[in-house]
Each structure stands twice: as structure tokens, then as C-alpha cells.
Amino acid sequence: MIKAGIIGGAGYTGLELIRLLLMHPEVEISVVTSRRYKGKPISDVNPHLSPFIELEYEDVDAKEIADRSDIVFVAVPHGSAMDYVPGLMARGARVIDLSADYRLKKEDYERIYKRPHKDKDKEERRAVYGLTELHPEVADADLVANPGCYPTGAILAVTPLVKEGMVKQVIFDAKSGISGAGVEPSEISHFPNLAENIIPYQVTAHRHVAEMRMELDVKVSFTPHIIPAIRGILTTAHVFLNTEETKTKPLQGQGLQGRGAEPHSEEIEGIYKQFYEGKRFIRLKKGMPSLSSVRGTNFCDIGFEIEEKSNRIVVISAIDNLIKGGSGQAIQNMNVMFGFDEGEGLWFPGLVP
């Protein structure tokens, strides 16, 4: 039984951490902070958590949180997490940061998030990028930078092909539920604006593309849209294979073997199966995934279809943005860090219908 603290427990990410950790047999929630709701019972502010949690929101400093916790989840906005992390680590807590503050190299972060990074030891901390399936080194990390929601779905969709050296370029066209935009009402989350609509935004320059490029060593573009749904991200990856190159430089392993032709479905399927073997939260689909099957789960469903007479493969992934794309993956990382079963507290089917 370990003790978990949550900094920023009133947003969707924090609330989802609470909800999931309440069902985790190895974890006790020790402290949850919120400046806005300080002193209020968590289950009064969030009636769906009644009567499962008796804690009140607190407003305490990093030092105290660290002293009361074995693991601390930092679920505050980008730019604020780095105010907490140094203090937490100085007191010996292991940390999973769900913001962007420790995901990128310092220079990339400062350029993209348009602010100086205030943690002078940022680079020395060697935060591990917590895409659990791809970074087993999470197990030994003291600081995990939990991936963004869009990067999770995008990177998982194409990594097997990229690692095989088959990919020249990818266009990620993503469709997200609105919960990714947070708990605060806004123009875009206003029901009459979003219902019966779909809203593209930051169509060439969303900040999350930096994480994708960091993890995928190919040309990457990214265009997100908000759909009228609460949860979920469907990522349509338009993958362009480097079939010219394969003519002259035969691939190893399960790859295209230099035929310069369209790949066979069986080859692609084999690549995915081998790559994700033993990864329990990746489900490879015969058909196309959709959001329904992953709603309320930590799964990433992946399917693909090869375009005839073309070097394009369409790979589609589906995740619940708040779980695999956020708090669930954070808990999956915690499980790995503390030697629990990777699926502990996360191993259940989705809410269908």
C-alpha cells in the first residue's frame, strides 16, 4: 500500500486520478490539493465521488505533500507544474507530472510553450517520457513526464511502422472529445456551439506536435478537431511509406523486404502484433476502432487499412483521452514504477453502450 498525493485535484485530470485511484487496491490517496476549493469535502464539490472519498481539498506546499506521499501526481496546468516538482523531489517523493513541463527538451519547451523553464535542474532530472508501452525505463524513474493526450494516440498508432523504417511521413488528423479542453466553461465547450458541430483548431501548429516529433523520427504533421462528444480521441494517421527507399535498401525483420510494392495486410499485421506483444492495453482490431469500445478504459485500440495502388496506409487509434490519454496512463506508469501489476486498478472493460 503506497500513499499518493494529487496536486490539482479539481480539474478533469485530477478528478480522474481520484476516481481511478479509489479503486486501486495498492494505493491510498493521502492528499489532494485545490486552491479554489480548499477546505471543502471533495465529494461535495464532485458528487459522483460520494461516498467514496472523505478527504477535503487542501492547499499545502510541495514539502508537506511530499512528506505525506510516496508518489505525487502533478495535475496542474503547463507552467505551474515546474513550481512544484523541485520541492517534491527534494523531499524524496517520486513524481508523475501530467503537464507538459517535463516532456520536451528545455529549449523546445521554452520555444513552444513561450515561457522560460523555471526549474534550473530540469535537464538533470532526466524525466522519462511516460508512454508506458514504449518506455520501460519508467520503472526506475523518479520523475515521469506523462504524455499529452493527442501524442499518446498518435505515437502508439504508428510507432511499429516507424521503428521498422517503413515510414516517410505521417499526417495525424485527430478528433477529440471536449473534455480535453478542461473543466472550465468556454466558447468552444458551450453546448449550442459544439453540439451538431465539429471544430478544427490550431490545424497546423498545435503544441502537441512537438512530442510526436520527439518520439517519431519521421516527418510529422498534426491537425486536431473537437467533436461533440465528452471523451475520447480518434486519431486518423495517414501514413506514407518510403517505398522508393525500400527498393534499394531491403528491410530487416517483418518489413516490406524491398519489393517496392504495396505491403500486404498480413505483413503489417505481423509488425504490429510483434511490436505490441505483451502490451496488454494495446488492442489490435480486425476492423476500424471507434471511441465506444475504449470509453472509460485505459485501452488504445488500433486498426489499419492499406490503400490500393498507393504508398498510403491509414492507421486509426482510439483512446479515452482522460484515461489512456491522461490519468489512466499516469497510473499505469505508477504501477510500473512501484512494481505492481501493470493493469492494477485499470483492468476493466469499457462502458458500452
Supply the residues annotated as catalytic: 149
Closest residue by Cα to residue 206 from 290, 150, 277: 150
Residue 68 in the binding site for a copy of itself (CB under 8 A): no
Residue 201 in the binding site for a copy of itself (CB under 8 A): yes
Residue number with CB closer to a copy of itself (36 or 48): 48
Rounded to the nearest whole angstrom, what is the least distance from the CB of residue 83 to a copy of itself in the complex?
27
Residues numbered 150 to 189 that lie near a copy of itself (CB under 8 A) are: 171, 173, 175, 177-179, 183-187, 189
Residue 291 in the binding site for a copy of itself (CB under 8 A): yes
In this chain, which of 196, 252, 277, 339 binds a copy of itself, going by CB under 8 A? 196
Residue 214 in the binding site for a copy of itself (CB under 8 A): no
Closest residue by Cα to residue 304 from 329, 258, 326, 273: 273
331: phi then psi, degrees, rounded to nearest 5: -70, -40
**Segment lying near a copy of itself (by CB under 8 A), choices 59-67, 85-93, 139-147, 314-322:** 314-322
Rounded to the nearest whole angstrom, what is the least distance from the CB of residue 73 to a copy of itself in the complex?
17
CA distances from residue 135 to 56, 97, 146, 194, 278 in whole angstroms, order as listed = 35, 15, 11, 36, 14
Residue number with CB closer to a copy of itself (27 or 62): 27
Closest residue by Cα to residue 317 from 225, 237, 226: 237
Strands 300-306 and 312-319 come out as antiparallel
Rounded to the nearest whole angstrom, what is the least distance from the CB of residue 193 to a copy of itself in the complex?
7
Residue 36 in the binding site for a copy of itself (CB under 8 A): no
Residue 265 in the binding site for a copy of itself (CB under 8 A): no
Q: Is the dihedral of CA 145, 93, 24, 26 positive or negative?
A: positive
In this chain, which of 221, 258, 259, 279 binds a copy of itself, going by CB under 8 A? 221
Residues in the chain, overall count: 353
Q: Is residue 284 a contact partner of residue 303, using CB atoms and an 8 Å limit?
A: yes
Residue number with CB closer to a copy of itself (205 or 252): 205
Closest residue by Cα to residue 34 from 75, 3, 93: 75
In this chain, which of 56, 283, 338, 344 binds a copy of itself, going by CB under 8 A? 283
- Buried/exposed code over 208-242 (b: 16+ C-beta within 10 A; e: otherwise): bbbbbbbbbebebebbbebbebebbbbbbbebbbb
| Interface size with a copy of itself, residues (CB under 8 A) | 78
Query: Residue 53 has which C-alpha cell?
Result: 472519498
Residue 244 in the binding site for a copy of itself (CB under 8 A): no
Residue number with CB closer to a copy of itself (89 or 306): 306
Question: If you search the block for the grid coordinates 471544430, which residue do you land on?
Answer: 199
**Segment lying near a copy of itself (by CB under 8 A), choices 66-74, 120-128, 302-310, 332-340:** 302-310
| CA 30/CA 315 separation, integer angstroms | 41
Q: How far is CA 306 from the centre of its chain?
A: 26
In this chain, which of 39, 48, 248, 339 binds a copy of itself, going by CB under 8 A? 48
Residue 204 in the binding site for a copy of itself (CB under 8 A): yes
**Segment lying near a copy of itself (by CB under 8 A), choices 130-138, 154-162, 195-203, 251-259:** 195-203
